[in-house]
Chain A
Amino acid sequence: MILDTQPIETSGRFDPANGTAKSVVTSDATRDVTRSPMVPTSELRPSHGKSSRRLSREESDALGRELDAIRAEVLADLGERDVAHIRAVMKASGAAAIAGRTLLHFGIDPVTFVLGTSALGVAKILENMEIGHNVMHGQYDWTGDPALRGAAYEWDIVCPGDDWRSSHNYEHHTFTNILGKDRDIGYQFLRVADEQPWEMRHLAQPVTALALAVFFEWGVGMHDLRVAETTRGEQSVAELWRRSGPFLAKAGWQVAKDYVVFPLIAGPNAPRVLAGNVLANVARNLWTFSVIFCGHFPEGVRVYTEEETKDESRGEWYVRQINGSANLDGSRWMHLMTGHLSHQIEHHLFPDLPAARYPEIAPRVRAICERYGQVYATGSLPAQLADVAKRIVRLSWPRRGKRAPSAAAA
């Protein structure tokens, strides 16, 4: 992968003359923060009675250095343990898939149907979350194992890996929660932040959100086609067609696999296998939808404008990641089944560290957030999901929404 490796140091101004960053840190980290150059245009919404303190650039950069230290520590410690973990999960997922399909294909009773469908669902969830998502982030590139190579991994959903790598790894993780730049905010058709302009179609969003939950992999797959942009005339139909190619190919294979070939080779059991595959995929869709919506859209997670992130330093980038994400509480198994996206905050800070490391560093990240007065949003899955649901319903009405500048301009 050819990537820029120029060091952008904390608080650094990049100096192209010698290719290094010059530190502009002042020792007075506690100076009056209200004179900070970074004044958000949107107020922080209170989260559980609290909101993040506004940090000066110097404070943000000091926070960034502490996070960099954690990152360096984990990088230096990577080894056998991480590889053993991901291989064990791969085997568990592979074994569950074989077991599930075997039960579906050869069973005739309802018990094996339920067991088989569940096993297949679990296999697909693990494959998507802990394996696919994390491997495709390049979290295991350091191993040199081709089976763990982020740039080549292809996951078991209708979304082509390459589309995901550009739309998610690059756009979403770089421009996290910046209105107008992060296309993941409401996926371009849901209104999940007050700052988004209200439109008539948002009235239907409780229903469209539910539909998205059921067909989530299709939503993810079509995300990068930019259908909404095309209907608004921002993208040509030719470009839409070009972007559709890889998606249609991938989706075709997925449909052929789960809904045509596997049922057909089951012979008389075809309807049973078809039903099991549909249910396993839908279960996986509902689960990933829930986890991902809880990661960025509960109350207390804020969005940013392009203006306020224009001259962001690396430290401020970290601060935005903290305030743009929310964690989920749960057991070890819950973390595994979410692909450790239950540690959304840690994931957004360190997207390329092996995700199984997030629970280990979480207490330290949390302590840093507390020291700097940053809200470390977290809650149980049901509570956060209820929060998200309330927000989607609330924002379907124009009531509290600000009139959008874009609407005014139009």
Chain B
Amino acid sequence: MLSTIERRLSATLRDARRTAARRFLVDRQTGLWRSELAWLGVRSRDHARITAVLDETPDTRTLVLEPPRGWVPHRPGQWTRVEIELAGVRTSRCYSLSSAPHDPELRITVKRVPNGRVSGRLHALRAGDALRISPAEGQFVLPTHPARLLLLSGGSGITPMRAMWRALLESDAADVVIVHHARTRADVIFGAELDALAKRRGFRVVVRLDDEHARPGEGGFDEGALRTAVPDLFAGSAGSAADLEEREVFVCGPPAMMQRVEAMGLPRLHVERFAAMPRPAADPDATEVLVTLGGRASPSGRTLPARTDGTLLDQLEAAGERPASGCRMGLCRTCSCLKRSGTVRHAISGAISDAPDEIIQLCVSVPCTDVELGPIVQAAVHSAMPHERAAERTLDPREKLARRSTQKVDPR
């Protein structure tokens, strides 16, 4: 009883302190001088500091980070959103944490993709630099009581696996199979660690390399490659199902590899995608449908034609709309929007949404029929253009009032 009152009281006091700090512009001052304070060794709530940069392969680096103040330990396999400024614009990308929760420091391991904006910049950072990182997120995590596991990765997809195997080393899980695929030996991220791991009891490590194991002209990873790598997992002991059917399988790798593994139809499959599937080629059978945008100022809203072989986000943008978006692959929900009516297909899972008033993500929704959407959150960029205000001129006062209230809607 007393403790409830105490808790309430302290919460009220904390709120009051925050409000006062805001109203007295103290928080603005601390925000302004944060980077200077970081230099003095004061840790901030949303910045991690790079303490070391490790070269893993010619195109991959690990950033060792001092976690932000108040960091909640992640679960092995989760990712964080890293935010940096590119030409003045805050830009964020997800990176799996390659360290285990019990490790003293945080790590992300970044492969530089050709022309990659964020990965390129991250590779230019040095010890001492600061990065804004979000709390860890993601469902691609080890089960609480892991039994038999297969960690299947390709290329940079090994990063969440490292967090997992390091966590498993601390537990007493007895049966972990790690299959990793890379182009050449030099491209194997965490190669030395994998070698050491192979000697541990309960761990079995198989590394497949395109240039050593694949027949010329072939490449990539498929069911055949997995069969050659771990044939015994495909054989069931007398009368029982194949080993593989009973394993928790975690897979993360290039889109083509993921697609092939998913096609195997394993019952206990967990997937993590780093990059969206390559865009489907224009489908000659695609038809044209109409998309109506609702909740707009103009009484009629706007109706535009769209095709059934592209995502709503791409097509709305092509039509000059500026819906807010983030990851563009169905993760962050920045692009979420109410669908009033019509049918859309999920571009990745193929799931169909045909019920009215469902929330959909524009970046992974492909229209199948005419679609009517609710209000669309606009991208923050240049949102207050004068021609939009000029458009308001002709509105009658009632609409004006309605707009005034919508203008205050917070996009976040």
Residues of chain A at the chain B interface (Cβ within 8 Å): 1-8, 14, 16, 18-19, 75, 78-84, 90-91, 94, 97-98, 137-138, 141-145, 147, 149-152, 154, 156, 162, 165-166, 169-170, 173-175, 253, 256-257, 261, 309, 312, 314, 317, 349-352
Interface size classification for chain B: 35 or more
With A19-B304, A143-B90: A2-B377 Cβ-Cβ less than 8 Å: yes
A174, B390: Cβ atoms under 8 Å?
yes
B23's nearest neighbour on chain A, judged by CB, is: A253
Q: Separation in Å of the B398 CB from the closest CB of chain A?
A: 15
* 8 Å CB contact of A3 from B29, B88, B90, B407: B407
Measured in the bound complex, the distance between the Cα atoms of B84 and A83 in whole Å is 13
With A19-B302, A317-B390: A79-B380 Cβ-Cβ less than 8 Å: no
Which residues from chain A contact B391 at a C-beta distance below 8 Å? 4, 6, 8, 14
Rank and list the top 4 A-B pairs by shortest CB-CB distance, nearest first. A144-B90, A83-B88, A138-B384, A79-B87
Digit string of B374-412 for contact with A (CB within 8 Å is 1, else 0)?
011110111111111111110000000001101111110
Contact residues of B between 302 and 324, Cβ < 8 Å to A: 302-304, 319-322
Which residues from chain B contact A170 at a C-beta distance below 8 Å? 389, 392, 404, 407
A153's nearest neighbour on chain B, judged by CB, is: B28
A257, B23: Cβ atoms under 8 Å?
yes
B390, A314: Cβ atoms under 8 Å?
yes
In the complex, B85 has a CB within 8 A of chain A:
yes
* 8 Å CB contact of A2 from B89, B381, B390, B407: B407
Q: Separation in Å of the B235 CB from the closest CB of chain A?
A: 53
Which residues from chain B contact A314 at a C-beta distance below 8 Å? 387, 390
Which residues from chain B contact A312 at a C-beta distance below 8 Å? 390, 393
With A90-B32, A94-B32, A151-B410: A5-B388 Cβ-Cβ less than 8 Å: yes
Measured in the bound complex, the distance between the Cα atoms of B89 and A82 in whole Å is 10
* 8 Å CB contact of B386 from A147, A257, A350: A350
With A1-B407, A8-B391, A166-B404: A150-B384 Cβ-Cβ less than 8 Å: yes
Measured in the bound complex, the distance between the Cα atoms of B319 and A351 in whole Å is 25
B88, A79: Cβ atoms under 8 Å?
yes
The stretch that binds A, out of B144-152, B292-300, B361-369, is B292-300
Which residues from chain B contact A261 at a C-beta distance below 8 Å? 24
In the complex, B276 has a CB within 8 A of chain A:
no
A79's nearest neighbour on chain B, judged by CB, is: B87
B26's nearest neighbour on chain A, judged by CB, is: A257
In the complex, B25 has a CB within 8 A of chain A:
yes
In the complex, B236 has a CB within 8 A of chain A:
no
B322's nearest neighbour on chain A, judged by CB, is: A5
Measured in the bound complex, the distance between the Cα atoms of B300 and A2 in whole Å is 16
Q: Separation in Å of the A145 CB from the closest CB of chain B?
A: 6
Measured in the bound complex, the distance between the Cα atoms of B22 and A81 in whole Å is 28
With A1-B378, A350-B386: A174-B24 Cβ-Cβ less than 8 Å: no
Which residues from chain A contact B298 at a C-beta distance below 8 Å? 4, 6, 16
With A19-B304, A145-B90: A5-B393 Cβ-Cβ less than 8 Å: no
Measured in the bound complex, the distance between the Cα atoms of B303 and A173 in whole Å is 29
* 8 Å CB contact of B88 from A75, A82, A147, A349: A82
Contact residues of B between 243 and 259, Cβ < 8 Å to A: none
Measured in the bound complex, the distance between the Cα atoms of B406 and A162 in whole Å is 13
Q: A3-B407, A174-B392 are in contact. List 10 more A-B contacts (CB 8 A).
A: A1-B383, A1-B384, A2-B409, A5-B320, A5-B385, A16-B298, A79-B87, A79-B88, A141-B382, A144-B380
Q: Separation in Å of the B404 CB from the closest CB of chain A?
A: 5
Contact residues of B between 16 and 44, Cβ < 8 Å to A: 22-25, 28-29, 31-33
With A19-B303, A151-B410: A94-B383 Cβ-Cβ less than 8 Å: no
Q: Separation in Å of the A276 CB from the closest CB of chain B?
A: 16
B401's nearest neighbour on chain A, judged by CB, is: A166
A78, B88: Cβ atoms under 8 Å?
yes
Measured in the bound complex, the distance between the Cα atoms of B33 and A95 in whole Å is 9
Which residues from chain B contact A309 at a C-beta distance below 8 Å? 393
B380, A4: Cβ atoms under 8 Å?
no
A98's nearest neighbour on chain B, judged by CB, is: B29
A352, B386: Cβ atoms under 8 Å?
yes
With A173-B386, A352-B386: A5-B378 Cβ-Cβ less than 8 Å: yes
A175's nearest neighbour on chain B, judged by CB, is: B393
Measured in the bound complex, the distance between the Cα atoms of B299 and A16 in whole Å is 10
* 8 Å CB contact of A1 from B23, B302, B409: B409
> Would you give 17 A-B contacts (Cβ < 8 Å), ordered by A?
A3-B297, A3-B378, A3-B384, A4-B392, A6-B302, A6-B391, A7-B387, A78-B88, A84-B88, A97-B29, A138-B382, A141-B381, A142-B382, A144-B381, A147-B31, A173-B386, A174-B393
Measured in the bound complex, the distance between the Cα atoms of B324 and A142 in whole Å is 12
B29, A80: Cβ atoms under 8 Å?
no
Measured in the bound complex, the distance between the Cα atoms of B397 and A330 in whole Å is 40
B387, A8: Cβ atoms under 8 Å?
yes
Which residues from chain B contact A151 at a C-beta distance below 8 Å? 408, 410-411
Measured in the bound complex, the distance between the Cα atoms of B32 and A16 in whole Å is 47
Which residues from chain B contact A175 at a C-beta distance below 8 Å? 393
B297, A4: Cβ atoms under 8 Å?
yes
Which residues from chain A contact B388 at a C-beta distance below 8 Å? 3-6, 8
Which residues from chain A contact B29 at a C-beta distance below 8 Å? 94, 97-98
Measured in the bound complex, the distance between the Cα atoms of B388 and A141 in whole Å is 16
A145's nearest neighbour on chain B, judged by CB, is: B90
B322, A8: Cβ atoms under 8 Å?
no
Contact residues of B between 336 and 391, Cβ < 8 Å to A: 375-378, 380-391
B384's nearest neighbour on chain A, judged by CB, is: A138
Measured in the bound complex, the distance between the Cα atoms of B24 and A81 in whole Å is 29
Which residues from chain A contact B33 at a C-beta distance below 8 Å? 91, 94
Q: Separation in Å of the B150 CB from the closest CB of chain A?
A: 40
Q: Separation in Å of the A120 CB from the closest CB of chain B?
A: 12
Measured in the bound complex, the distance between the Cα atoms of B383 and A152 in whole Å is 14
Measured in the bound complex, the distance between the Cα atoms of B29 and A94 in whole Å is 6
A2, B295: Cβ atoms under 8 Å?
yes
A162, B382: Cβ atoms under 8 Å?
no
B87, A80: Cβ atoms under 8 Å?
yes
Which residues from chain A contact B392 at a C-beta distance below 8 Å? 4, 170, 174
Q: Separation in Å of the B381 CB from the closest CB of chain A?
A: 4
B382, A75: Cβ atoms under 8 Å?
yes
Measured in the bound complex, the distance between the Cα atoms of B85 and A81 in whole Å is 12
Which residues from chain A contact B383 at a C-beta distance below 8 Å? 1, 3, 138, 141
Measured in the bound complex, the distance between the Cα atoms of B33 and A91 in whole Å is 8
A174, B389: Cβ atoms under 8 Å?
yes
Measured in the bound complex, the distance between the Cα atoms of B386 and A394 in whole Å is 34
Q: Separation in Å of the A102 CB from the closest CB of chain B?
A: 12
With A4-B298, A80-B87, A94-B28: A162-B385 Cβ-Cβ less than 8 Å: no
Digit string of B236-273 for contact with A (CB within 8 Å is 1, else 0)?
00000000000000000000000000000000000000
Measured in the bound complex, the distance between the Cα atoms of B161 and A407 in whole Å is 80
Q: Separation in Å of the A85 CB from the closest CB of chain B?
A: 10
B88, A143: Cβ atoms under 8 Å?
yes
Measured in the bound complex, the distance between the Cα atoms of B29 and A156 in whole Å is 13
Measured in the bound complex, the distance between the Cα atoms of B89 and A141 in whole Å is 9
Measured in the bound complex, the distance between the Cα atoms of B89 and A80 in whole Å is 8
Measured in the bound complex, the distance between the Cα atoms of B376 and A112 in whole Å is 54
